[in-house]
């Protein structure tokens, strides 16, 4: 990615992003559960994760290959639509979450899977991880309200995917950039040290995170890990962009409000790139100690 690829973000109250993000998060659980019940399960749970496809502006799950033809489920955050795509990425079935309940969406997904030659009745919303409770869990309908906020979510996800892919370019041990259904972060895990068995002993992770118990707004992060060692960020040099945190998050963060505060919006990409470069370099020095 070059900084010119960054799509400038318009000023927005970052606290207002939490509600639309939560709705997209709940809708994305259908994708995760299709991965759980219709894709070969992996020990790291990667069969439930997703990728951002900027060209289509969707969050897409893993391919399901046991039916009449390959298909995958995706969600369009901008419109809160669930969409089944075929192998040529043609939409073969769609469902609007807006104005509909979780149970209605589940019934639609089961029917769509059955029509594709799969056992749709096997789809369950039996999450094996915890996510924050949401009113749609109690039968409330999804609501596509305040469209500019949903538009912002799409731009943020596209920017995050592009800039994180660039940050791991050339790092052969880096995992693919994916979105995980429980924390709903876009991230990559990069092991940098291994024991004799090949197990990772040192690593760092980078990503974009939604508001959580640690930070009450979206943010980019870099965090390091070393087996049996508690990372001490106290003596690291200050970052020119972002900050080091010791609790409850351990590592470096760059808040979305800091990105949006840039006067020249064309400089937003440079800000995030600088943050990631400095925080990664400092983390690697820390891991080498």
For residue 222, give both structure tokens: 């870099």
Question: Phi first, then psi: what are they for 41, rounded to 5°?
Answer: -75, 135
Helix residue ranges per DSSP H, the chain: 18-38, 102-115, 147-167, 256-260, 268-288
Query: Is the pLDDT reported for residue 1 higher than 50?
Result: no
Which of 80, 76, 61 minimizes the C-alpha distance to 23? Answer: 80
Q: What is the pLDDT of residue 248?
A: 86
Q: What is the pLDDT of residue 3?
A: 54
By percentage, how much of the chain surpasses pLDDT 70? 98
pLDDT per residue over 153-164, tens digit each?
999 999 999 999
Q: Answer for the pair 203, 192: CB distance below 8 angstroms, yes or no.
A: yes
Predicted TM-score (pTM) of the model is 0.94
**Residues in contact with 94: Cβ distance below 8 Å, sequence separation at least 6, in sequence order:** 81, 82, 83, 84
Query: Is the pLDDT reported for residue 219 higher than 90?
Result: yes
Q: How confident is the model at residue 289 (pLDDT cuts 50, 70, 90)?
A: low
Q: Answer for the pair 194, 178: CB distance below 8 angstroms, yes or no.
A: no
| Residue 47, CB-side half-sphere exposure with 13 Å CA sphere | 14
- CA-to-CA distance for 268 and 244, rounded, in angstroms? 20
Residue 15, classified by CB atoms within 10 Å of its CB into exposed (0-12), middle (13-18) or buried (19+), is: exposed
pLDDT per residue over 83-133, tens digit each?
999 999 999 999 999 999 999 999 999 999 999 999 999 999 999 999 999
């Amino acid at each position: 990615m070059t900084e010119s690829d960054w799509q400038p973000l318009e000023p927005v109250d970052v606290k207002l992003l939490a509600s639309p993000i939560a709705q997209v998060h709940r809708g994305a659980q259908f994708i995760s559960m299709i991965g759980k019940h219709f894709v070969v399960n992996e020990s790291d749970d990667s069969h439930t994760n997703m990728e951002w496809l900027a060209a289509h502006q969707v969050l897409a799950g893993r391919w399901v290959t046991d039916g009449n033809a390959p298909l995958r489920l995706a969600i369009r955050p901008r419109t809160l639509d669930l969409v089944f795509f075929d192998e040529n990425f043609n939409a073969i079935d769609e469902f609007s979450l807006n104005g509909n309940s979780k149970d209605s969406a589940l019934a639609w997904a089961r029917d769509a899977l059955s029509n594709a030659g799969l056992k749709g009745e096997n789809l369950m919303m039996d999450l094996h991880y915890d996510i924050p409770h949401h009113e749609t869990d109690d039968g409330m309908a999804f609501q596509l309200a305040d469209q500019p906020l949903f538009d912002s979510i799409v731009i943020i996800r596209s920017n995050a995917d592009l800039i994180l892919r660039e940050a791991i370019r050339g790092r052969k041990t880096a995992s693919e950039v994916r979105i995980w259904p429980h924390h709903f972060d876009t991230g990559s895990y990069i092991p940098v040290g291994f024991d004799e068995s090949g197990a990772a002993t040192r690593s760092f992770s980078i990503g974009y995170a939604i508001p959580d118990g640690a930070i009450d707004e979206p943010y980019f992060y870099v965090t390091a890990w070393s087996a049996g060692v508690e990372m001490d960020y106290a003596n690291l040099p200050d970052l020119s962009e972002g900050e080091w945190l010791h609790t409850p998050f351990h590592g470096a963060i760059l808040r979305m409000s800091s990105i949006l505060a840039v006067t020249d919006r064309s400089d937003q990409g440079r800000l995030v790139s600088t943050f990631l470069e400095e925080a990664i370099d400092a983390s690697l020095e820390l891991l080498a100690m």
